[in-house]
Amino acid sequence: MGLRRGNRLRHRRAADGRANPGGKLPVTFARHAGQLPIYYNHKPTARRGFLDDTTKPLYPFGFGLSYTTFDISEPRLAKATIGVSDSVKVEIDVTNTGNRKGDEVVQLYIRDDFSSITRPVKELKHFKRVTLEPGAKTTVSFEITTHDLEFYDMEMKRVVEPGTFTIMAGPNSVDLKTTTLTVA
């Protein structure tokens, strides 16, 4: 049978749908050379790429294929406003809307909307893999702490500045649903 029979069987199970792969991309793939360099947590800039083409990447960070489909809800915050030293619980509903059992990785990104220094457009802060049967629904919870909101200021000290933060959740770095957190 050969030494590689196990690998062939595993790949055949995925190809014919008996197994459902759940991997996610650790990088972003550009649609064209005009988008290079491209990565999910870039600093805000003017339009990147060509005027007559989309700025969306071909495959975004965190993208993955599945034989089933999922719906990820808008993130819900336990409190809309917190202090600079507080934390807040965020919940996201995940529903398997397909007809097969499958895995989804719920990704939580945060953007500091107004800051004293330039911040990335989004930063991956938490993620969680869930396995769901067809039609099943679960709630994924994360705790957003001051560590998730901190950055190094001009004096190289970690600080949390009061202001608004966009909380984003989704299956990858592009297809995101949002809500707003205010830090007072």
Domains and CATH numbers, the chain: 5-183 (2.60.40.10)
Instruction: With a cut of 80, say whether residue 15 has pLDDT above it.
Output: no
Segment 53-99, tens digit of pLDDT: 677 889 999 999 999 999 999 999 999 999 999 999 999 999 999 99
- How many whole angstroms separate alpha carbon 18 and alpha carbon 116? 52
| Per-residue confidence band for 22, with pLDDT thresholds at 50, 70 and 90 | confident
Bridge partners (DSSP) of residue 110 are: 123, 167
Kind of pairing, strands 81-82 and 177-183?
Answer: parallel
Write down the pTM of the prediction: 0.84
N- to C-terminal Cα separation, the chain: 66
Q: What is the DSSP string of 20-47?
A: ------SS-B-SSGGG-S--TTPPP-S-
